[in-house]
Structure 1
């Protein structure tokens, strides 16, 4: 840790900042003895463990040490992992949430099978900050110890912590413990506060007088006493009654700390290892996701097999389907669709391990990329496209660029519900990232810019088609756009928002509840306008066909559209137009007769207006639309 690097703040109880460190290594290489010697704490919690001298489940211990660059005290909180192969599931539950590792190899035995598997698991989990302890140094001579260090360094070459410092120590004699403590201090790291706390539960129990208590390693953000939180994956609202960390009561737990949380609202029996405490609305609880895969040397990951997926403190039965089809082999990273047997609050970038249940063997692992992956990927073109999308997502994570990741995710999906975006992107709030990517919020869903352009083209084409099909109408009904966009598979509520975007961008014009293209208009000259209106008024209730009147008056479609839009002319049929004055005059004539005779039939209305059925029926329909008449069976009432 450099002198310039800030250290995370002391919590409300005044406890020093914490660095969580898991221990790993082969069975009986002295992990628990080392924790016991460093901390004075017995990490083996069960009588059977102490009787057999074998760690079965997770153990815990801590050490306050002045090992920062400025001499301030930090707390090293150890999670002691079992080394026996039969308890690898428990080992994974402790390693998954841990950000750093104390890797243990006994000087008298050297690198052993579980040393290899634990190192592979830590590498798959992406743990880079580590210290290696060569234990039982008192049992070998100097030359043997030097050789042990040299051989361990060679074995570390293929791990994610190849350059980790190596310290020889003895828990029995105390040799090297001070140096080991100081070296562990170099692992101290400020855990980022992303405002998205997640506590993977590794223990759940009940205390008389307090109720339900869960423990875990907190990451991603702060938790406080009295916070309202959610138990994932059940979506169950619960409340934090209180918290403790290393036997001290605290009111605020910072990211990166080991914490015991007293909960109200759920019994301990309903919470299992691998559940998580999160804030409402920030995480996507998914049982299906797309991921980047890596196979260990000599192994492959394929569709066949009974798979177990381990992430955080949890373990799930899983089905694995490589996107490209063939198995993923060592040295050839690939991508897969993974389904697990119950939902989990996973996020892009989360690391996981894959084990084959039948052989109880770690086969590989990977990194979560997309927690809202959409329909199954079928067909070569769709597979190739999906592979390109996943490469883009992986590249954004590699670059640590969450804005680039959000843009790639929106591009891949086109539409993502706003309620899912925080979890899908892995940031809260994520809306600024979507806006920066050019996405638009429509009906509570974010729409990618390219998708919006495609829908816009569909919408504008529909309006243009309407103009061509109805040359005498100035504007299209407003629902033409939504209907056209919905026809390509878009949810109607979202499709209805496309017109508003196009109006905002000046690509559509709204007029009296209708829509038209901006260039779809014209001007009427005074002589031509007067002649056109005269032709309609010469025989007001039996006007000439519209096309004929246009030719005789010498005006075009744009001119007619302007007269219609201005309310001077009314198009009652595609080729029948009347002046507004004619329609109002017809209304008054019908009203006068109605006052004398009562409801009028269509035939009687035709007689009153002295016209033919060709004109009378569309005229009556127009009066109905305007609310001047109201149809009652075969007759009409005429309203004022």
Structure 2
């Protein structure tokens, strides 16, 4: 058939939806598959004609100019969605759009809003009622979501939150000594793009579902728990660090004492500070050393490797590892053979 709308015409194929045939004077649903795009919006009227012999066979108005797919003919949910598009409230239309399209920015969702602002008021109500979820780090408030704010239907958010909980629970069970799952591993498992994933994690952290630790994510209920035997081994190792705080057991010795996974857990939760591939310190020892080095530099203007070794009553290996670590953290700056404080 030929489809005419305004001054435009294009060949089209008609797919009836929900009915096998329409008698003259009847109304029903159909999807027009156009051979070329037309700039149509919801509410535009059209007529269709048979080209040969030329005859007008029907007409109607556009309900969904961008369906995104070819509908199946006998799907009740398709007809229900179209009926909502025709007679649904502004709130129902917004919810339906989010359920169909997934997370969408507020600006895109309201791109066809009426000048009267009915859709904006409806969106505000949906957000405040918790039917539409803001994917960001701040809870719903009295203000209208900004155009770039990501929004999701509650049904979509609930399904994703369950996936997050399931995936993190499985990881914690399989790796009880790891603090959490890497961000990228979770994002890949959820199959979300980076922007939506960032909004999802911000919202999940706000709701208390997850704890965002930067590189890793964990359930708020998860913490590393050592067995009795592991805790005894850790106590013995930490006693060695306490006995010689500036000449501590090496990484290799520590792994031999408690195991690689347990040592990684101790570093991850802050029980030990690793300053090089071979050197570890207790956190209070580390803080005290940093304070003494900075105090000396402030007083003397700089500090050498030898001076650091003597100041801390340690060996060259430990002093060098510590100074190189402080350089990498921006706490000190190497200038020839001395360290100085970086400009503030």
Please state which band the TM-score falls in when normalised by the shorter chain: 0.5 to 0.7
Q: What displacement does 1:624 show?
A: 3.9
Q: What displacement does 1:431 show?
A: 0.8
- Partner deviation per Cα, 1:337-390 (whole Å, 9 max, x = no partner): 45876534x33x66543335675532333443334444xx37xxxx55996663
Task: Establish whether residue 320 from structure 1 lines up as the match of residue 12 from structure 2.
Answer: yes
Equivalences for residues 107-186 of structure 1 within 5 A: none
Task: Establish whether residue 414 from structure 1 lines up as the match of residue 99 from structure 2.
Answer: no
Q: Please identify which structure carries the higher helix content.
A: 2
Q: What displacement does 1:497 show?
A: 1.6
Task: Establish whether residue 343 from structure 1 lines up as the match of residue 39 from structure 2.
Answer: yes
Q: Which of 312, 315, 336 pairs up with 1:610?
A: 315
Q: Over the residues paired in the alignment, what is the CA RMSD in angstroms? A: 5.3
- Partner deviation per Cα, 1:156-183 (whole Å, 9 max, x = no partner): xxxxxxxxxxxxxxxxxxxxxxxxxxxx
8 Å CA contact retained: 1:352, 1:367: yes
SS for the counterpart of 1:363 is strand
CA distance in 2, matches of 1:576, 1:470: 25
CA distance in 2, matches of 1:611, 1:464: 45
CA distance in 1, matches of 2:264, 2:303: 40
Tell me the residue number matched to 1:498.
Answer: 200
Q: What displacement does 1:414 show?
A: 1.0
Task: Establish whether residue 439 from structure 1 lines up as the match of residue 127 from structure 2.
Answer: no
CA distance in 2, matches of 1:574, 1:467: 26
8 Å CA contact retained: 2:171, 2:181: yes
Distance 1:390 1:440, change over 3 A: same
Give the TM-score, by structure 1 length: 0.37
CA distance in 2, matches of 1:339, 1:388: 27
CA distance in 2, matches of 1:324, 1:466: 49
Gaps of 5+ in 1: 1-304
CA distance in 1, matches of 2:12, 2:30: 12
Tell me the residue number matched to 1:334.
Answer: 30
8 Å CA contact retained: 1:536, 1:544: no
CA distance in 2, matches of 1:321, 1:407: 30
Gaps of 5+ in 2: 136-147
8 Å CA contact retained: 2:163, 2:190: no
Q: What displacement does 1:517 show?
A: 1.6
Equivalences for residues 91-490 of structure 1 within 5 A: 305-309=1-5, 314-318=6-10, 320=12, 330=22, 333-338=29-34, 343-344=39-40, 346-347=41-42, 352-356=46-50, 360-374=54-68, 377=69, 384=72, 390-397=78-85, 400-422=88-110, 427-429=118-120, 430-432=122-124, 434-435=126-127, 438-442=131-135, 443-456=148-161, 474=179, 480=183, 484=187, 488-490=191-193
How many residue pairs get matched?
Answer: 308
8 Å CA contact retained: 1:482, 1:496: no
8 Å CA contact retained: 2:47, 2:58: yes
Distance 1:487 1:530, change over 3 A: closer
In our comparison, the structure showing a higher alpha carbon Rg is 1
SS for the counterpart of 1:392 is helix
Tell me the residue number matched to 2:241.
Answer: 536
SS for the counterpart of 1:582 is helix
Q: What displacement does 1:318 show?
A: 3.6
Q: What displacement does 1:409 show?
A: 2.6
8 Å CA contact retained: 1:536, 1:578: yes
8 Å CA contact retained: 1:418, 1:445: yes
SS for the counterpart of 2:98 is helix
CA distance in 1, matches of 2:51, 2:316: 88
Tell me the residue number matched to 1:623.
Answer: 326
- Partner deviation per Cα, 1:86-141 (whole Å, 9 max, x = no partner): xxxxxxxxxxxxxxxxxxxxxxxxxxxxxxxxxxxxxxxxxxxxxxxxxxxxxxxx
Q: What displacement does 1:627 show?
A: 3.2
- Partner deviation per Cα, 1:205-264 (whole Å, 9 max, x = no partner): xxxxxxxxxxxxxxxxxxxxxxxxxxxxxxxxxxxxxxxxxxxxxxxxxxxxxxxxxxxx
Distance 1:639 1:580, change over 3 A: farther
8 Å CA contact retained: 1:483, 1:495: no
Distance 1:520 1:341, change over 3 A: closer
Equivalences for residues 22-37 of structure 1 within 5 A: none
SS for the counterpart of 1:537 is helix
SS for the counterpart of 2:63 is strand
CA distance in 2, matches of 1:485, 1:413: 20
Task: Establish whether residue 582 from structure 1 lines up as the match of residue 273 from structure 2.
Answer: no
Q: What displacement does 1:413 show?
A: 0.9
